[in-house]
Amino acid sequence: MKDNNQPMSFKHKAKSALLFFGQSLLFCLGLTALIFTFVGLFEGSFSFAEMSLLEIIFTLVLVFLICRYLTASKASGLTWRRMLYLPLRNIGWFSLISYLFFIFFTLNEGADNLNVLLAKNANRMQWVDFIFIQLCLYWAAPKLPAEQSVVDDLAKEEAIQ
């Protein structure tokens, strides 16, 4: 209902439904891409002994970025749903763009050429996934206004105590 007690129009309801569907699709694409990346990282056996040095470095950088993201999210007062949604939305956008690229490549070159390309560059594709997941998590962190910073907030909290 609007402020003047008139019901919402069909156009507004359709926009809201389409927006919800799009956001849900991005969230689901991001979640599946993240799950498949970690399954590929551990290669089916969840053991740190089989990880390469670069995969360990990726994991450490990812932990650092998650800590950074959580700190910035708490400082800006995001809800837990929004904190979960933002990085998965960014990963979903990356997944959607890469799927569209693969569809375009398949239509132009054929599925056989795509399979050969992916087989030859499997390790490179894994690193591209790792890099884009880290970038998506970095970009998802909320930005504080210029006059406010996390250090200033911590100093104020210490002064109060």
pLDDT tens for 45-90 read 666 677 778 888 888 999 999 999 999 998 888 888 989 999 999 9
Number of domains forming the structure of the chain: 1
Amino acid sitting at position 101: F
Query: Has residue 80 been placed in a domain?
Result: yes
CB atoms within 10 A of CB 97: 11
Cβ proximity of 95 and 33 under 8 Å = yes
Query: Has residue 155 been placed in a domain?
Result: no
Which has the higher per-residue pLDDT, 4 or 52?
A: 52
127-144 pLDDT, tens per residue? 888 899 999 999 998 886
Query: Has residue 89 been placed in a domain?
Result: yes
Cβ proximity of 141 and 70 under 8 Å = no
Which domain covers residue 103, as residue numbers?
A: 10-33+52-142
Radius of gyration of the chain (CA): 21
What is the pTM for the complete model shown?
0.73
Query: Has residue 84 been placed in a domain?
Result: yes
Query: Has residue 44 been placed in a domain?
Result: no
Query: Has residue 72 been placed in a domain?
Result: yes
Q: At what angle do helices 122-140 and 80-109 cross, to 10 degrees?
A: 150
Rounded CA gap, 117 and 137, in Å?
28
